[in-house]
């Protein structure tokens, strides 16, 4: 399963394609510099500049804007990585993926496996596809720190210490604040927000000790825009984002581990069973993603060995400005977005969130009959105007 290549994504022509073209041309200093030099250093260029002074001025302005953009990006990338480099030998690294038995997590596992990377899958579901000896599946309820540590001992002895942890598992109940039971809300936060804490407490110490490793946190568009029927989901994803930000700061200020990388992923609405029936109605601007698209973006960032922020579609970055928008706009936008949940019927792998999954002897409530539609193994379920 090769990564998608080319300008046009799997989802077809969309706003991201336009933005990418602008960045590669009108906001690309490498593209503009030859034009500026020709306009200033050649006789013909000088003549054209005299005849069209406004165009020449705009070209110069665009060039300096592109330089400023490049410098800003370069400095940000260096700061994210603490101005230090690190080497990753992917024949020796061990990547742990929560919720990797199927869905987006499963696509991530397939991509890593095809590149010869050793992968550990933590999931309450069995694998929904055939894997090689490079992939090791461990059944685990990641809501429980005790069970996670118990399984971690097996992982360390049988496979080794994970050097990359991808917190991919995610759930969504799709209920209003008054409809949701306390168990619904706790379940959402247990998986989406607290589980990354438990995996970090379990596997991060070895990374810190060797000053090498990576923690990937899958958040969502919903961290920036919370809509009706998704209040607990949005809050849990905002909590996951805060976890990423705080952990990033602690790695240098508390643990002296500047080479341990952190990555946060903000996907938009993705075509998974978890968000079946969800319709954000923003096709061209923020189209519904294919699971493979999200997996490609995550694996590409992981294999770079660098810290970063992955936003897909990239146009979703406009949602980060909502906090600075006046209430007359932001409040109305959140209310208007409620139409996305009109026909929501997202699959729930765990129906009885009060009962420990281990007590479900028949496996029916865990969705064992259809692991490809697992909720806890999908991590990208969002929506631009609404959620991830």
Which domain covers residue 35, as residue numbers?
Answer: 15-73
Domain termination residue (choose one: 26, 44, 73)? 73
- pLDDT given at position 356: 64
Instruction: Give the residue from 124, 140, 113, 119 showing the smallest Cα distance to 374.
Output: 124
> Domain for residue 382, yes or no?
no
> Domain for residue 378, yes or no?
no
> Domain for residue 333, yes or no?
yes
- pLDDT given at position 342: 85
> Domain for residue 6, yes or no?
no
Q: Is 278 a catalytic residue?
A: no
Tally: H helices and E strands in the chain:
11, 7
User: How many domains does the chain divide into?
Assistant: 2
364 and 236 in a single domain? The answer is: yes
53 and 140 in a single domain? The answer is: no
- pLDDT given at position 27: 96
Cβ-contact 310, 220 below 8 angstroms: no
Q: What is the DSSP string of 81-128?
A: TTT------TTT-EEEEET-SSHHHHHHHHHHHHTT-EEEEEESSPPS
233 and 331 in a single domain? The answer is: yes
211 and 280 in a single domain? The answer is: yes
Q: How far is CA 230 from the centre of its chain?
A: 18
- pLDDT above 60: residue 299: yes
> Domain for residue 7, yes or no?
no
- Portion of the chain with pLDDT greater than 90, in percent: 81
The more confident residue out of 272 and 41 is 41
The more confident residue out of 111 and 354 is 111
33 and 121 in a single domain? The answer is: no
Instruction: Give the residue from 186, 228, 181, 203 showing the smallest Cα distance to 340.
Output: 228
Banded model confidence at residue 282, pLDDT cuts 50, 70, 90: confident
pTM for the predicted model, two decimal places: 0.90
> Domain for residue 323, yes or no?
yes
Instruction: Give the residue from 193, 275, 262 showing the smallest Cα distance to 230.
Output: 275
Banded model confidence at residue 357, pLDDT cuts 50, 70, 90: low
- pLDDT given at position 348: 72
- pLDDT given at position 329: 95
In 3-state terms, what secondary structure has residue 228? coil
194 and 292 in a single domain? The answer is: yes
Cβ-contact 102, 371 below 8 angstroms: yes
> What CATH number does residue 325 fall under?
3.40.50.720
Q: How far apart are CA 383 and CA 207, in angstroms?
A: 33
- Tally the residues of the chain: 388
Cβ-contact 382, 222 below 8 angstroms: yes
Torsion sign, CA atoms 355, 359, 362, 366: positive
65 and 195 in a single domain? The answer is: no
Q: Which tens digits make up the pLDDT trace of 192-242? A: 999 999 999 999 999 999 999 999 999 999 999 999 999 999 999 999 999
Cβ-contact 171, 120 below 8 angstroms: no
174 and 259 in a single domain? The answer is: yes
183 and 241 in a single domain? The answer is: yes
Banded model confidence at residue 358, pLDDT cuts 50, 70, 90: low
Q: Which tens digits make up the pLDDT trace of 83-116? A: 999 999 999 999 999 999 999 999 999 999 999 9
> Domain for residue 111, yes or no?
yes
Q: Are strands 135-139 and 118-123 parallel, antiparallel or unpaired?
A: parallel
337 and 216 in a single domain? The answer is: yes
* Residue in 88, 221, 233, 278 annotated catalytic: 233
- pLDDT given at position 362: 41
46 and 144 in a single domain? The answer is: no
> Domain for residue 82, yes or no?
no
- What's the chain's average pLDDT? 90
69 and 98 in a single domain? The answer is: no
Banded model confidence at residue 6, pLDDT cuts 50, 70, 90: confident
């Amino acid at each position: 399963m090769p990564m998608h290549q080319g300008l046009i994504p799997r989802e077809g022509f969309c706003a991201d394609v336009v933005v990418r073209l602008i960045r590669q041309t009108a906001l690309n200093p490498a593209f503009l510099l030859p034009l500026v030099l020709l306009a200033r250093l050649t006789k013909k260029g000088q003549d054209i500049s005299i005849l069209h002074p406004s165009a020449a001025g705009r070209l110069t302005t665009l060039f300096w804007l592109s330089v400023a953009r490049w410098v800003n990006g370069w400095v940000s990338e260096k700061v994210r990585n603490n101005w230090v480099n690190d080497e990753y030998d992917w024949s020796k690294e061990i990547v742990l993926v929560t919720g990797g038995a199927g869905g987006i997590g499963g696509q991530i596992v397939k991509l890593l496996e095809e590149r010869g990377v050793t992968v550990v899958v933590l999931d309450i579901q069995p694998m929904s596809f055939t894997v090689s000896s490079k992939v090791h599946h461990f059944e685990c309820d990641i809501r429980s720190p005790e069970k996670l540590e118990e399984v971690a001992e097996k992982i360390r002895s049988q496979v080794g210490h994970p050097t990359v942890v991808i917190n991919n598992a995610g759930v969504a109940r799709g209920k209003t604040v008054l409809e949701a039971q306390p168990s619904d809300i706790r379940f959402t936060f247990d998986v989406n927000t607290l589980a990354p804490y438990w995996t970090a407490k379990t596997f991060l110490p070895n990374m810190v000790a060797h000053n090498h490793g990576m923690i990937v946190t899958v958040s969502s568009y919903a961290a920036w825009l919370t809509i009706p029927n998704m209040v607990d989901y949005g809050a849990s994803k905002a909590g996951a984002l805060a976890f990423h930000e705080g952990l990033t700061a602690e790695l240098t200020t508390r643990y002296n581990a500047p080479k341990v990388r952190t990555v946060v992923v903000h996907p938009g609405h993705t075509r998974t069973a978890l968000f079946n029936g969800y319709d954000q109605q923003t096709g061209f601007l923020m189209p519904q993603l294919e699971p493979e698209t999200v997996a490609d973006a995550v694996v590409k960032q992981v294999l770079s060995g660098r810290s970063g922020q992955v936003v897909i579609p990239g146009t979703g970055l406009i949602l980060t400005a909502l906090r600075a928008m006046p209430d007359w706009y932001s409040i109305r936008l959140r209310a208007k977005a409620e139409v996305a949940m009109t026909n929501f019927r997202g699959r729930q792998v765990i129906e009885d969130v009060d009962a420990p999954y281990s007590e479900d002897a028949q496996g029916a409530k865990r969705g064992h009959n259809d692991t490809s539609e697992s909720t806890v193994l999908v991590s990208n379920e969002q929506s631009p105007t609404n959620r991830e």
